[in-house]
Every structure is written in structure tokens, then in C-alpha cells.
């Protein structure tokens, strides 16, 4: 905690030092995106595991508060991506270090230049939604709190499990320095790997996450994920294919939207499943290793908490990778879509 306070006070003290501000912004935007990712991967997996819960999740995505969060999320991803590329490029080219300050300014300018047209296009979807003849359906705050509460419980349980595990490992190893120093060499090689991984994975994530966001916010928009008879972004219309693969959201459920995307075959390859699998693997490992860097910085004084930070990130990454992969390998059939349609109708009728 002391080092967290130190980070914030030092940042304020060095007001004007752009490098310091861009470091803090990079950290906040990375953590913000990771928090969303945790809720999102589990939410999407529900389309296969508990269809009615994904239906609820998308209604929450359409709440005005989330619309604000959606603009913030896109801003976080764009800034973090551009600044991450700056870090990567400069790290591999020490001769350019003298241009650090200027590069940080370019990142800010680049972020604004990308965000202005993106926000205008996103805002058109918001306007269209609120100007539609039928009044938009908005879930209550109590509905959101109830749906998100299990996530909070899950995060707390994972944190407690990590601290307990760290305590047990500490007891078993006797907190011996010998173990720590024996691992130190291996650790430094491993840390070099992670250093390079963060930079290469970052570059690979850029086209994947920008493509994903372009589909979800510009081409289609969050409000169209559960729109009756809407087309499906990235899936051509082909009436001759079955109801869950014809490129049209016949039922108007968010569950059918995912089914259509994941059922689409190019040749015989389910390209959107492959795309999502690559995105899942890269963002989860990159994001949780980033979280490990952050938590390690703030737990220097306590070996127990430092180890626990590592375990927490490992638990988080494994859970998301397993849940996300199970979903990607699963099948959504008509009975699940029907279940989602009934749940959606009940929520709308109940005026949640
Ligand atoms: C509000 C913003 C977003 C919306 C509406 C959205 C929507 C969706 C939808 C509908 C799917 C289901 C499959 C598909 O259509 O491909 C999906 C899957 C996925 N999204 Fe997003 N997305 C958003 C932001 C993000 C961001 C910022 C990330 C990464 C940081 C991300 C990572 C993923 C991953 C990894 C999957 C696959 C999940 C799995 O394996 O089960 N999404 N998203
Ligand atoms: C869009 C492309 C991305 C690029 C180019 C990128 C690049 C980077 C780079 C270069 C670092 C610094 C690594 C280091 O200090 O060794 C980093 C840190 C981090 N990234 Fe990303 N990243 C991207 C996407 C993401 C996403 C989608 C997430 C969340 C799921 C994320 C979360 C983090 C976190 C939490 C950190 C640690 C921040 C810190 O140590 O202060 N990044 N990123």
C-alpha cells in the first residue's frame, strides 16, 4: 500500500513529466481493460453454458451507464495499444530514447485522432437506439448489481485462495532464502521471456482487438446484438443455411448472435472461433502477466503477498482460458436459443 501511495504522490510531484503520466495512464488503461475482459469472457461463455445469463449480460451492455463505460473502454484500448507500441519500439531502439517525450506526445495525438471518428460512429448507434419508435428497454440498477455480484464473490474467493496457497507454500519452504536464490537465475531468464512476450503479444493483439472492437462498436454496435432480423457482423446472409447459420438473427437473442458467428464456416474453417481463440489466448496471458507486474510492484515488502499476487494472476488466467476455451468448443442449439428468447421476453415483461 505504501508503494501505491508513493506512486500516486510521486506522480503528482513530477507533474508535467509526461513520461510519468504516460506510465500511470498505461497502467490504468491496462487494468481497466483487464477488469472488463474478466466479466466479458465469462459472460460470452454463458451463451454456451447458461444461455439466459448471456441474454441478461447483453441487456446490461445496453444500459446507459455501460454506454459511458463502452466509450471509456474503447479509449482505454486505443491509448494502451498506441502507448504499448511506443514502449516496444523504443525498447528495441535505444538510439531513439532521446525522443521519448516527443513520442509520448505523438501517442496522445494519435489517440485523439483515432478516437474522434470512432466516437462519432459509435455515437450514431446510440442515437439510432434512443430515437427508435419503440422506447428503449433499460434494466434497473438492482438488476445489474444482482447479475454482477457473483463476479465480485469470484474475485474475492480467488484472492483468498491465492493468499492461503502462498501461506502454505511459505510454510512448506520454510520461507528459506536458499529456495529463493536458487530460483533467482531461472527467474531472470523467465522474466526476459515475459518481457519479450509482453511486446510481441502486444503487437499481435493490436489488429485482433481493433478488428473485434470495430465489429462490436462500429459495424454492428452493442444495441444490435439482440435485434430481431438484424444481420450478423462478419457473417454473410445465406437463407439456405439453417436458422443458426444463415447470417440473420431470427430470434433477436444475443445467444443466436454468438451461435451465428461461431457457426460460420469459410471453406470448412470456423474462422470466428479461431479468431476469438487467438484473441482469448493473447489478451488473457498478456493482461494477467501485466497484472502480475502491477501487483508485484505494490507487494515488495511482503513475501507472502508477493507470492499470493503471482498465484492470483495464475488462477485468473487459468480460469479464463479454461472457461473461454470450453465455450469456443461448445455448440449452441435451437433449444438454447429458445430458452434465451423466453428469458429475454420475461425480463422485458417484468420491467427489470
Ligand atoms: C463492449 C465491447 C465488446 C463487445 C460488445 C464484445 C462482444 C463480443 C461478442 C458478441 C463475442 C462473442 C463471439 C463473437 O462475436 O466473436 C465476443 C467474444 C470475445 N471477446 Fe469481445 N466484445 C467487446 C470487447 C472486447 C474486448 C475489449 C476484448 C479484449 C480485451 C474482447 C475479447 C473477447 C474474447 C477473448 C472473446 C472470445 C470469448 C471466448 O473465448 O469465449 N472483447 N465479444
Ligand atoms: C492492444 C494492444 C496492446 C499492446 C500493444 C500492449 C502493450 C503493452 C506493453 C508494451 C506493456 C508493458 C510491458 C512491460 O512493462 O514489460 C503492457 C503492459 C500491460 N498491459 Fe498491455 N498491450 C496491449 C493490450 C492489452 C490488453 C487487451 C490488456 C488487458 C487485457 C492489457 C493489459 C496490460 C497490463 C495490465 C499491463 C501492465 C501495466 C504496468 O505494468 O503498469 N494490455 N502492455
- Which residue puts its alpha carbon closest to atom 31 of ligand 1? 37
| Ligand 1 midpoint to CA 167 (Å) | 36
Q: Is 306 in the pocket of ligand 2 (CB under 6 A)?
A: no
State which residues of the chain have pLDDT below 70. Answer: 1-4, 6-17, 175-187, 351-352
User: Which ligand minimizes its atom distance to the CA of 33?
Assistant: 2
- Which residue puts its alpha carbon closest to atom 19 of ligand 2? 290
Distance CA 105, CA 102 (A): 5
| Ligand 1 midpoint to CA 279 (Å) | 9
- Which residue puts its alpha carbon closest to atom 4 of ligand 1? 216
CA atoms within 13 A on the CB side of 46: 18
Distance CA 27, CA 34 (A): 11
Q: What is the pLDDT of residue 1?
A: 58
Q: Assess contact for 328 and 174: CB atoms under 8 A.
A: no
Pocket probe mutation, ligand 1, options 276, 282, 327, max atoms within 8 Å of Cβ: 276
Ligand 2 atom with minimal separation from the 23 CA: 41
Which residues, including other chains, have CB under 8 Å from residue 82's CB and lie 6 or more apart?
A: 107, 110, 111, 114
Q: What is the pLDDT of residue 101?
A: 86
Give the Å distances, CA to CA, from 244 to 236, 240, 241, 259: 13, 11, 8, 6
Q: Is 235 helix (H, G, I), strand (E, B) or coil?
A: strand
Q: What is the pLDDT of residue 182?
A: 43
Ligand 1 atom with minimal separation from the 287 CA: 30
| Ligand 1 midpoint to CA 245 (Å) | 19
Q: Is 33 in the pocket of ligand 1 (CB under 6 A)?
A: yes
Q: What is the pLDDT of residue 133?
A: 87
Q: 20: which 3 cell numbers?
A: 510519468
Q: Is 286 in the pocket of ligand 1 (CB under 6 A)?
A: no
Q: Is 279 in the pocket of ligand 2 (CB under 6 A)?
A: no
Q: Is 85 in the pocket of ligand 2 (CB under 6 A)?
A: yes
Q: What is the pLDDT of residue 9?
A: 67
| Ligand 2 midpoint to CA 80 (Å) | 7
Q: Is 80 in the pocket of ligand 2 (CB under 6 A)?
A: yes
Q: What is the pLDDT of residue 10?
A: 61
Distance CA 234, CA 248 (A): 11
Q: Assess contact for 320 and 38: CB atoms under 8 A.
A: yes
Q: What is the pLDDT of residue 250?
A: 96
Q: What is the pLDDT of residue 263?
A: 97
Q: Is 32 in the pocket of ligand 2 (CB under 6 A)?
A: no
Amino acid at each position: 500500500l505504501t508503494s501505491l501511495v508513493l506512486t500516486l504522490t510521486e506522480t503528482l510531484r513530477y507533474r508535467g513529466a509526461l513520461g510519468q503520466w504516460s506510465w500511470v495512464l498505461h497502467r490504468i488503461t491496462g487494468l481497466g481493460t483487464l477488469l472488463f475482459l474478466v466479466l466479458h469472457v465469462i459472460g460470452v461463455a454463458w451463451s454456451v453454458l447458461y444461455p439466459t445469463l448471456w441474454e441478461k449480460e447483453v441487456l446490461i451492455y445496453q444500459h446507459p451507464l455501460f454506454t459511458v463505460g463502452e466509450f471509456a473502454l474503447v479509449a482505454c484500448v486505443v491509448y494502451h495499444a498506441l502507448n504499448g507500441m511506443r514502449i516496444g519500439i523504443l525498447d528495441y531502439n535505444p538510439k531513439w530514447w532521446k525522443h521519448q517525450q516527443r513520442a509520448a506526445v505523438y501517442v496522445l495525438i494519435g489517440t485523439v485522432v483515432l478516437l474522434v471518428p470512432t466516437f462519432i460512429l459509435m455515437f450514431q448507434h446510440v442515437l439510432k437506439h434512443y430515437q427508435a419508435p419503440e422506447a428503449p428497454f433499460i434494466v434497473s440498477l438492482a438488476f445489474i448489481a444482482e447479475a454482477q455480484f457473483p463476479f465480485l464473490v469470484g474475485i474475492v474467493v480467488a484472492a483468498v485462495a491465492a493468499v492461503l496457497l502462498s501461506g502454505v507454500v511459505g510454510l512448506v519452504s520454510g520461507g528459506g532464502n536458499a529456495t529463493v536464490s536458487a530460483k533467482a537465475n531461472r527467474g531472470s531468464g523467465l522474466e526476459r521471456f515475459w518481457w519479450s512476450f509482453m511486446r510481441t503479444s502486444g503487437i499481435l493483439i493490436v489488429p485482433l482487438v481493433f478488428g473485434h472492437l470495430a465489429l462490436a462498436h462500429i459495424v454492428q454496435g452493442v444495441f444490435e446484438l439482440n435485434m430481431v432480423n438484424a444481420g450478423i457482423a462478419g457473417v454473410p446472409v445465406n437463407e439456405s443455411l439453417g436458422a443458426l447459420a444463415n447470417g440473420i438473427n431470427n430470434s433477436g437473442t444475443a445467444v443466436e448472435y454468438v451461435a451465428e458467428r461461431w457457426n460460420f464456416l469459410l471453406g470448412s474453417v470456423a474462422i470466428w472461433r479461431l479468431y476469438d481463440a487467438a484473441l482469448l489466448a493473447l489478451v488473457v496471458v498478456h493482461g494477467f502477466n501485466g497484472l502480475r507486474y502491477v501487483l508485484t510492484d505494490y507487494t515488495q515488502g511482503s513475501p507472502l503477498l508477493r507470492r499470493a499476487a503471482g498465484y492470483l494472476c495464475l488462477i485468473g488466467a487459468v480460469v479464463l482460458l479454461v472457461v473461454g476455451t470450453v465455450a469456443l468448443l461448445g455448440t449452441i442449439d435451437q433449444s438454447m436459443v429458445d430458452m434465451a428468447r423466453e428469458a429475454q421476453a420475461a425480463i422485458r415483461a417484468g420491467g427489470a
